[in-house]
Amino acid sequence: MTTLIWDQRRYRNRHGRGMRAPMFGTRLPRYRTASAMFDSMVASQIRRLNSAWSELTRNIQFAVEDVPPSQPLIWESNRRILSQCFPASRGIKARIVLYRLPLCNHVTSRAELNYAIRDEIVQRLAELYGRRPEEIDPDWGM
Domains for the chain: give ranges and CATH numbers.
30-69+79-136 (3.30.2010.20)
CB 94 within 8 A of CB 85: yes
Q: Read off the pLDDT of residues 63-113 as tens digits, 9 standing for 90 and up.
A: 999 988 876 666 666 667 889 999 988 888 999 999 999 999 989 999 999
Q: Give the model's confidence band at 136: pLDDT under 50 very low, under 70 low, under 90 confident, else very high.
A: confident
CA distance 13 to 38: 36
Contacts of 94 (CB under 8 A, 6+ apart): 59, 60, 61, 85, 86, 87, 88, 128
**pLDDT of 117 higher than 90:** yes
* pLDDT at position 9: 53
Closest CA relative to residue 120, chosen from 2, 41, 33 = 41
What whole-number distance in Å separates Cα of residue 14 and Cα of residue 32? 28
Alpha carbon 133 to chain centroid, angstroms: 21
- In this prediction, residue 58 has a pLDDT band, given cuts at 50, 70 and 90, of confident
Neighbouring C-alpha atoms within 13 Å toward the C-beta of 85: 17
pTM for this structure?
0.73
